[in-house]
Amino acid sequence: KPSPDFLPQLTACFAQPAAENPTVVMVEAAYQHHGLHFRYITCEVSPQNLEAAVNGAKAMGWAGFNCSLPHKVAIIQHLDKLGESAQLIGAVNTVVKQGDTWIGENTDGKGFLQALKKHINPENKHVTLFGAGGAARAIAVELALAGVSSITIVNRSKERAQAVVALLNNSTSAKAIYQPWTKKYAIATSSDIVINATSIGLYPNINEQLNIDFTSMTINMLVADCIPNPPQTHLLQTATAKGCKTIDGLQMLVNQGVIGIKHWTGVDVDATVMHDALKKALYIDTN
Ligand code: NDP
């Protein structure tokens, strides 16, 4: 008989608030499904305690951890190195221990890109992106690195949008422009990919709608929404009714988890197992 091993490798999420973060459900489902001797725990960590929490993880030799709000930028000062897109985005959501080095990665945009690539090759495509916060920035950088030709950022606050536009134009080959969002926005007919990366429609505000002229949305557009809960947002329902291909926020969430687990364990885990576990935990009808 092999000698028993009662010491799992540890991974976690540091967040505040933490209780509403469902990542544990999908990551633990993947660990169990693949027989990985790893555990994932959700930790409520305040900004004042972030350094102590990171030192704790280092002292215990964790395999790594996720950082959610409000730690995605503050974590950087505690790390040794950043991956290329994390460096460009200026934010980290996944920390990986490699030997004695602690590396910051950003998988938010990579998860989105992985879900997108199942439907469309992003090269030379035109993108309309609603939002300019952390998720939008991560998605915009990954799309630019993946070779899209243009990204139009539509956002309520001009300053935030212009910062993303400047980042893309200065550091990537994609051409970015800002469009104000002061009235019903008509999507350019040349758009191949339309993305909501604002928080509009997120539970419990499920009836909030993007201020879009929906007659400008056409069947040739692929429409994606970052909102994981509920996954079928008003935007996606409208797009589906028009016959557009769609990507929901759960797919983005699951795929960024798959990438994070690959970093920690080296294993390519089954996304379906994670997706099903999440849907069950979020009480989403699986029929
Ligand atoms: P941020 O707070 O950084 O950004 C929020 C964005 O939403 C900003 O662009 C903000 O505009 C815009 N916004 C919010 N309310 C309104 C409104 N009423 N009208 C117009 N614009 C509005 O959040 P994140 O970027 O971190 O997250 C955005 C969403 O993406 C969240 O719902 C989150 O759940 C989701 N997300 C999903 C992930 C996934 O894996 N599926 C991963 C990460 C995030 P302004 O700049 O003008 O304030």
Atom of ligand 1 nearest to the CA of 198: 7
Ligand 1 center from residue 17 Cα (angstroms): 16
Residue 284 — very low, low, confident or very high, per pLDDT cuts 50/70/90?
confident
**Ligand 1 in reach of 156 Cβ (< 6 A):** yes
Which two structure tokens, joined as six digits, stand for 99?
A: 């030997």
Provide, rounded to the nearest whole percent, the portion of the chain with pLDDT above 90: 92
pLDDT tier, 285 (very low <50, low <70, confident <90, very high otherwise): low
Q: Is 9-107+251-281 assigned to CATH 3.40.720.10?
A: no
- Ligand 1 within 6 A of CB of 114: no
Residue nearest to atom 39 of ligand 1 (CA): 253
The average pLDDT across 119-124 equals: 97
Decide: 131 in ligand 1 pocket, CB within 6 A.
Answer: yes
pTM: 0.93
| Most confidently modeled range among 27-31, 84-88, 281-285 | 27-31
Q: Does the pLDDT of residue 26 top 80, yes or no?
A: yes
Arithmetic mean of pLDDT over the chain: 95
Residue nearest to ligand 1 atom 17, measured at CA: 200
* Every domain of the chain and the residues it spans: 9-107+251-281, 120-244
Range 260-281 average pLDDT:
97
Active-site residue, 72 included: yes
Domain 120-244 adopts which CATH fold? Rossmann fold (3.40.50)
User: Does 134 contact ligand 1 (Cβ within 6 A)?
Assistant: yes
Residues 6+ apart with CB under 8 A from 262: 268, 269
User: CB-side exposure of 142: number of CA atoms within 13 Å?
Assistant: 26
pLDDT class of 282 with cuts at 50, 70, 90: confident
| Closest-lying ligand 1 atom to the alpha carbon of residue 112 | 40
Residue to mutate (ligand 1; options 196, 198, 226, 247; most atoms within 8 A of CB): 198
197 lines ligand 1 (CB under 6 A): yes
Has residue 287 got a pLDDT over 80?
Answer: no
Which residues are within 8 A (CB) of 97 and not within 5 positions of it... i.e. 6 or more apart? 61, 62, 63, 64, 103
Q: In whole angstroms, give the CA distance from residue 146 to residue 18.
A: 32
Burial annotation 179-203 (CB, 10 A radius, 16+ → b, else e): bebeeebebeeebbbbbbbbebbbe
When pLDDT is averaged across residues 16-21 and rounded to a whole number, the result is: 92
Tokens at 8, concatenated = 């799992």
**Phi and psi torsions of 65, nearest 5°:** -160, 160
CA dist., res. 10 & res. 74, Å (int) = 22
Same topology for domains 9-107+251-281 and 120-244, yes or no?
yes
* Pairwise CA distance, residues 168 & 158, whole Å: 15
What tens digit of pLDDT does each residue of 202-251 get?
Answer: 888 989 999 999 999 999 999 999 998 899 999 999 999 999 999 999 99
Please state the ipTM of this predicted complex. Answer: 0.98
